[in-house]
A and B are shown apart, each in its own frame.
Chain A
Amino acid sequence: MTRPGVQEAITRVHRAEWARVVAGLTRKFGDLDVAEEAAAEAFATAVQRWPADGVPPNPGAWLTTTATRKAIDRIRRESKRADKQREAWMASADDPGEPGGAIDDERLRLIFTCCHPALAMETRVALTLRMVGGLTVPEIARAFLVQEAAMGQRITRAKAKIKAARIPYRVPAAGDLPGRVSGVLAVLFLVFNEGYLATGPGTDPVRPDLTAEAVRLARLIRALLPDDGEVAGLLALMLLTEARRAARVSAGGELVTLAEQDRGAWDAALIVEGHRLVRERLAAGVAPGRYQILAAINAVHTSARDARDTDWSQIVALYDQLVRLDPSPIVALNRAVAVAELDGPEVALAAVDRLEQRLAGYHAYQAARADLLRRLGRSREARAAYDRAIELAGNTAETAYLTRRRDQLAVAAEPWKTV
Chain B
Amino acid sequence: MQYLVSVIDDRTDSGTADEMAAVDVFNDRLQAQGHWVFAGGLAAPSSATVIDNRGGGEPVFTDGPFVETKEYLAGFWVMEAADLDVALKLAAEGSRACNRRVEVRPFL
| A166 x B1 contact (CB < 8 A) | yes
Contacts A164-B106, A164-B108, A166-B1; is A118 near B82 (CB within 8 Å)?
Answer: no
Task: Report the count of interface residues on A (CB-CB < 8 A).
Answer: 12
| A88 x B84 contact (CB < 8 A) | no
| B88 x A168 contact (CB < 8 A) | no
Complexed CA–CA distance, A92 and B87 (Å): 14
B1: A residues at CB distance < 8 A: 88, 166
Whole-angstrom distance between the Cβ of A285 and the nearest chain B Cβ: 32
| B108 x A92 contact (CB < 8 A) | no
Contacts A88-B1, A118-B88; is A165 near B106 (CB within 8 Å)?
Answer: yes
A176: B residues at CB distance < 8 A: 85
8 Å CB contacts to B: which residues of A274-296?
none
Contacts A88-B1, A118-B88; is A167 near B83 (CB within 8 Å)?
Answer: yes
8 Å CB contacts to A: which residues of B55-90?
82-85, 87-88
Whole-angstrom distance between the Cβ of A88 and the nearest chain B Cβ: 7
Complexed CA–CA distance, A116 and B104 (Å): 15
Whole-angstrom distance between the Cβ of B83 and the nearest chain A Cβ: 4
Contact residue among B82, B88, B104 (Cβ-Cβ distance under 8 Å from A92): B82
B108: A residues at CB distance < 8 A: 164
Complexed CA–CA distance, A172 and B88 (Å): 13
The binding surface of chain A is classed by DSSP as loop
Residue among A92, A165, A168 facing the most chain B CB atoms (10 A cut-off): A165
Complexed CA–CA distance, A43 and B106 (Å): 34
B84: A residues at CB distance < 8 A: 116, 118, 165-168
Complexed CA–CA distance, A117 and B3 (Å): 17
Whole-angstrom distance between the Cβ of A127 and the nearest chain B Cβ: 15
Contact residue among B3, B83, B106 (Cβ-Cβ distance under 8 Å from A168): B83
Least CB separation from A176: chain B residue:
B85
Interface size class of B (residues with CB under 8 A): 10 to 19
| B85 x A172 contact (CB < 8 A) | yes
Number of A-B contacts (CB under 8 A): 28
Complexed CA–CA distance, A164 and B108 (Å): 7
Least CB separation from A180: chain B residue:
B85
A118: B residues at CB distance < 8 A: 84, 88
A164: B residues at CB distance < 8 A: 106, 108
Complexed CA–CA distance, A118 and B104 (Å): 10
Contacts A88-B1, A92-B82, A92-B83; is A166 near B88 (CB within 8 Å)?
Answer: no
Whole-angstrom distance between the Cβ of A299 and the nearest chain B Cβ: 36
Complexed CA–CA distance, A164 and B85 (Å): 13
Complexed CA–CA distance, A116 and B84 (Å): 10
Q: Give A81-96 as 1s and 0s: 1 = Cβ < 8 Å from B's Cβ atoms.
A: 0000000100010000
Whole-angstrom distance between the Cβ of B60 and the nearest chain A Cβ: 33
Q: Give A164-202 as 1s and 0s: 1 = Cβ < 8 Å from B's Cβ atoms.
A: 111110001000100000000000000000000000000
A117: B residues at CB distance < 8 A: 88
Q: Give B2-14 as 1s and 0s: 1 = Cβ < 8 Å from A's Cβ atoms.
A: 0100000000000
Whole-angstrom distance between the Cβ of B81 and the nearest chain A Cβ: 9
Whole-angstrom distance between the Cβ of A197 and the nearest chain B Cβ: 33
B87: A residues at CB distance < 8 A: 165
Least CB separation from A92: chain B residue:
B83
Complexed CA–CA distance, A92 and B83 (Å): 8
Whole-angstrom distance between the Cβ of B32 and the nearest chain A Cβ: 21
Complexed CA–CA distance, A118 and B108 (Å): 18
Complexed CA–CA distance, A118 and B1 (Å): 17
A172: B residues at CB distance < 8 A: 85
Residue among B85, B88, B105 facing the most chain A CB atoms (10 A cut-off): B85
B105: A residues at CB distance < 8 A: 165
Cβ contacts A to B, 13 pairs, < 8 Å: A88-B1, A92-B82, A92-B83, A118-B88, A164-B106, A164-B108, A166-B83, A166-B84, A166-B106, A167-B84, A167-B85, A172-B85, A176-B85
Q: A166-B83, A166-B106 are in contact. List 13 more A-B contacts (CB 8 A).
A: A88-B1, A116-B84, A117-B88, A164-B106, A164-B108, A165-B84, A165-B87, A165-B105, A167-B83, A167-B84, A167-B85, A168-B83, A168-B84
